[in-house]
Amino acid sequence: FEILNLDMKPGNTLKVKGKISADTNGFSINLGSSSRDLALHFNPRFNESVIVCNSKCCNVWQKEYRDCHLSFFRGCTVKFLIEMLTDKFRVKLPDGHEVCFSNRHNYRKINYMSIMGGFKITSFKL
């Protein structure tokens, strides 16, 4: 799933709903200007029981941030709220826990979104 004209700005919240595959090791929700330049790579990994966040610049990954609060599981339906602030992204998990990740490259506009791996999107709203 890929969108090339998202037009997300600081103050906007993206709501993403979907079903996690029963047999997946993980999935990712990616926001940036292209697949080569990502402001936020949100990557739950079930085989490691961790959520990895990262950014990518000119197709080069940066330093990973890891959050061990994996409050959802394979086979469940979930909703994530991703809020873009001036200095960071705040991802609200289904249980209310928040994962914050710095806006490392000071993006003022997000045009690109992709969802990869074992996540079947049912709806999204900006």
Q: Give me the DSSP letters along 29-95.
A: EEEEEETTEEEEEEEEETTTTEEEEEEEETTEE---EEE------TT-EEEEEEEE-SSEEEEE-TT
Rounded Cα–Cα distance for residues 54 and 69 (Å)? 16
Number of domains in the chain: 1
Token representation of residue 46: 């079930």
19: domain CATH number is 2.60.120.200
Q: List 124's β-bridge partners, or say none.
A: 16
pLDDT at 30: 98
* Residues in the chain with pLDDT values less than 70: none
Q: What's the pLDDT at 71? A: 92
Name the residue range of residue 47's domain: 2-125
* pTM as predicted: 0.96
Please give the pLDDT value at position 44. Answer: 98
Tokens read off for 78: 């979930």
**How far apart (Å, rounded) are the C-alpha atoms in residues 125 and 109?**
16
